[in-house]
Amino acid sequence: MKDITPIKEAFSSTHRDRIYILDKNTLKVFEVSDEDDEDYKLEIAAKVQKSPDRYIPIPKRQGHQSFEDMRTFINTKISNKGLQEKLRRAISTEKGAFSRFKDTLSVEDQAILREWYDYLEECIEEEVIQWLRENYINI
């Protein structure tokens, strides 16, 4: 399997002002933002316009998905009932839930925090691979 790290990073980016475009042939990711100079933006636009079947915008991961990942992690990976309850309280409202979740784990158990990051990485990779398959992109 080819390295899909740049695609995963684009998929999980929280930068609202950026778009990411994937070259389906090379798996190269092009990042475009308002801050880029006009020549670069025109170059990317010309590539896409010349070969529209070759380039595809990379969607950004939905925020609610990370919220669902936290819930699943709490329910399936945490055996300590007290910690489960603290984490459930931390994510009881979606706004700020990700920060509260990470803060709670960093105070309670650094090893579980590392497990969380590994788990989240696996979730993102699975979603990216599914998206690539749905778009007939061979990795």
Domain spans, the chain: 5-60, 63-124
Task: Please give the order of strands across the beta sheet that includes 29-33.
Answer: 29-33, 18-23, 55-57
- Residues with Cβ within 8 Å of 130's Cβ and at least 6 positions away in sequence, in order, are none
What's the pTM? 0.85
Query: Does 11 have pLDDT greater than 90?
Result: yes
What's the pLDDT tens digit per position in 20-44? 999 999 999 999 998 999 999 999 9
Q: What's the confidence (pLDDT) of residue 138?
A: 85
For residue 106, the Cα-to-chain-centroid distance in whole angstroms is 21
